[in-house]
Chains A and B, each alone.
Chain A
Amino acid sequence: MPLNTHDKAAALAGVPLFAGISEDSMERLAAVAGEQAFGAGQFIVRQGQVGTGLYVILSGSVKVLRGADELAHLGAGEFFGELSVIDQQPRNASVQAAEATQVLALASWDLLGLLESDPQLALNMIKGLVARVRSAGEQHRH
């Protein structure tokens, strides 16, 4: 059953990445967010592909893979794909649905415009990235 804009906004508002952003930004995001569904085992993004946006997990869960390595397991409320949005480099990992999974897709161009105009969103994204750098660094320590 497809979500309407109001439902999408509600779903996005629950995601820490979008916490505290302006109502105007939230409406713009909800209006352009696209809903996608994946079955267990389906790839949502593939390493090396040109990235076109970021994904917010509405339900289900995914594995983040590089080659045979499983880097992370993400669930509802979490996001992925933001690196390619920020630096326009190809995807550095694949993301595969671990079970039936629903996501909201936000295109790079929509997001970049908002990052530059909504400081709270940029701040939330920096915090998200910083947390990931820290955990990526810690994985090397043993």
Chain B
Amino acid sequence: MAMTQQELVDMLSSLTLFADLTRPQLEQVAHKMTEESFPVGQRILRQGFTGTGFYVILDGEVAVKIDGEERAKLAKGDFFGEMSILLGEPPVADIVTLRQLHALHLGGPELEGFLRDHPQVMYRMLKTIALRLRNASRWRS
């Protein structure tokens, strides 16, 4: 499914991660990131392996698996890959597509610069990660 630049920017404007950006800023984001598609059953990130990328899901679904066990599902609007990049460590989970995936990708080395250029995105990411931390802590019972 090929999108025009206009359609892509419209789609981005509907995602929480980019909710605070103006139209010109959304266009900048669309310009810096690349669209990628993955078939079902593809492993995008591998537990323990180097090789990083930051992904924002536009359509489709992935499973987050640790030691083969599914821990979470991510779908449209969710992001992944940032943990390994920010910590400088290999991923601790596999990310595997459950359905055909359409995502925006940014190379690992570019993430910090991208977040500095778009502090509103960084702030949204901060809130989401804070929520993940609350949920992660809740598993302990």
Name A's B-contacting residues (CB within 8 A): 66, 69, 71, 82-83, 86-87, 89, 92-93, 115-116, 119-120, 122-123, 125-127, 129-134, 136-141
Contacts and interface: CB of A to CB of B under 8 A. Distances in A.
Contact of B134 (A87, A127, A137): A87
Nearest to B116: A119
Contact of B133 (A69, A123, A133, A139): A133
B46 to A, nearest CB: 16
Contacts, number: 83
* A-B pairs with lowest CB-CB distance, top 8: A136-B136, A86-B130, A119-B116, A129-B129, A119-B119, A133-B133, A122-B122, A130-B83
Given A131-B87, A140-B139, A125 B133 contact: no
A115 B126 contact: yes
B132 interface: yes
Nearest to A117: B119
29 contacts: A66-B140, A86-B126, A87-B130, A87-B131, A89-B134, A92-B137, A115-B126, A119-B116, A122-B122, A125-B126, A126-B86, A126-B125, A127-B86, A129-B126, A129-B130, A129-B133, A130-B82, A130-B86, A130-B87, A132-B133, A133-B83, A133-B132, A133-B133, A134-B83, A134-B87, A134-B92, A136-B133, A140-B140, A141-B66
B115 interface: yes
Interface string B78-121: 00001100110100100000000000000000001001100100
A130 B129 contact: yes
Contacts of B31: none
B123 A115 contact: yes
B23 to A, nearest CB: 21
B122 A119 contact: yes
B73 interface: no
Interface in B41-92: 66-67, 71, 82-83, 86-87, 89, 92
